[in-house]
Every structure is written in C-alpha cells, then in structure tokens.
C-alpha cells in the first residue's frame, strides 16, 4: 500500500507540474518592457478640436468639403473646423417661442439621428460670420435665412433677462433682443459651451 501511495503522490505531483507548466505557457504575454522609446503624449494646438486661433478657407468646388466646413452625419450637419461646433445644415423653419425652441433642440434627434443638440449662444452664431462682409462666408454649406433664436438671454431696456432673448440673423450679422414669447425658428448646434 505504501508503494501505491507513493506512486499516487508521484503521479499527482507530476500532473501538477504539467498543469502549472501548461498554464504558464498559456498566459505568457511576452516581455513587459516597452518595444521602443516612449513617445510624447503632448498635443499641439492643431491636434485639439476647433481652431479658434486661425482662419480657415471656405473656397473650393464643394461647400461641404473645404478647409473650414465639412458636411457630416449623412450631409445633414456641418462641422465648423474653426470652432469644433457641429451645426444643422438646414435649420428648422417652424417658428416657436424662445422656451419652445430651447426644448425643440434638447429633444431634437432628427439631424444625424443623434441627441445632444442645443440652441447656440449669440457668440457661437456670430462665429460663423465673416467680419469683412458681416454675412455668412462665401461658399458656405448652410441653408439659413432670417432670424433664429439663440441661448443668450438679454433685456437691454429693463435689465430683466427673464423676458428677452437674442435672435440673430446670420445672413447679415444682426443680434436683436426679442420678447421670448415672439415666434422664430431655431438653428441647433452640438458641442462647445452650454452656457448662455
């Protein structure tokens, strides 16, 4: 019986060594040392979305493919590479009060089938305007006309922002305070600031 016990113990030990050796080979992932020198993780300004520090051209045969503008989301939206903002290519045409326009953008998922849209601030809308002409740049890909609500609230007369918000006409840069109950369409944007 002792020989049998020793033989059993020896077989179990051999089997254990075999399992350990097999497991060690199975999980071997190679050296933990890096394959070469570690590169820098620093990014240049060109690597950061948006290029507020420079002006990009809108010239080109296709308004949806210029240095500044690129149509995205099945050509339903436009990425402005200068700011990193994504705009509806065709703004809404239905008119709403200011609070309804805010709600329409928040629940909006038609453009590109994505949520995350909001009303732009007056500064963001103004960022689309060319200073030399006070209009949208030549060869832009948008279909926009008339006034659109912005997220910026303002009451220049009474100092009461609860009743007025700025509407902007991007065809010729004009920002006008309107009573929030007035009716204008909305032009939703994604990305960037959510402040007003």
Q: Looking at the domain assignment, is residue 154 inside a domain?
A: yes
Q: How far apart (Å, rounded) are the C-alpha atoms in residues 80 and 56?
A: 9
Q: Identify the CATH number of the domain in which residue 181 sits.
A: 3.10.100
Tokens describing residue 87: 């705009």
Residue 45, domain member (yes or no): no
Provide the number of structural domains found in the chain: 1
Between 155 and 184, residue with greater pLDDT: 184
Evaluate whether residue 31 is within a structural domain: no
Domain of 128 in residue numbering reads as 50-190
Structure tokens at 120: 């732009």
38 in a structural domain: no
SS3 4: helix
Instruction: Please report which confidence band the pLDDT of residue 4 belongs to, taking 50, 70 and 90 as the band edges.
Output: low
Phi, psi of 10 (to 5 degrees): -65, -45
Full-model pTM: 0.69
Which residue, chain included where needed, has tokens 């399992």? 19
Distance CA 107, CA 134 (A): 31
Domain assignment present for 20: no
| 184 three-state secondary structure | strand
More confident residue, 55 or 136: 136
Q: How far is CA 108 from CA 30, 118, 151, 160, 194, in A?
A: 50, 8, 15, 28, 16
> What confidence tens digit (pLDDT) does each residue in 160-173 have?
667 899 999 887 77
Cβ contacts of 60-64, under 8 Å, gap ≥ 24: 60/139, 63/139, 63/140, 63/141, 64/141
Residue 17 maps to a domain: no
């Amino acid at each position: 019986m002792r020989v049998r016990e020793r033989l059993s113990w020896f077989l179990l030990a051999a089997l254990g060594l075999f399992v350990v050796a097999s497991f060690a080979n199975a999980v071997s992932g190679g050296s933990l040392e890096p394959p070469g020198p570690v590169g820098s993780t620093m990014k240049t300004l060109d690597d950061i979305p948006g290029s507020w520090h420079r002006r990009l051209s809108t010239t080109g045969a296709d308004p949806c493919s210029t240095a500044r503008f690129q149509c995205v989301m099945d050509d339903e939206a436009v990425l402005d590479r200068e700011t990193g903002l994504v705009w509806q290519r065709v703004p809404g045409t239905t008119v709403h009060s200011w609070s309804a326009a805010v709600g329409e953008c928040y629940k909006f998922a038609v453009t590109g089938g994505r949520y995350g849209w909001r009303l732009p601030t007056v500064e963001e809308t103004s960022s689309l305007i060319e200073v030399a002409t006070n209009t949208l740049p030549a060869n832009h890909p948008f279909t926009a006309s008339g006034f659109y609500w912005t997220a910026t609230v303002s009451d220049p007369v009474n100092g009461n922002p609860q009743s007025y918000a700025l509407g902007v006409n991007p065809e010729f840069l004009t920002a006008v305070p309107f009573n929030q109950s007035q009716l204008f369409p909305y032009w939703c944007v994604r990305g960037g600031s959510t402040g007003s």
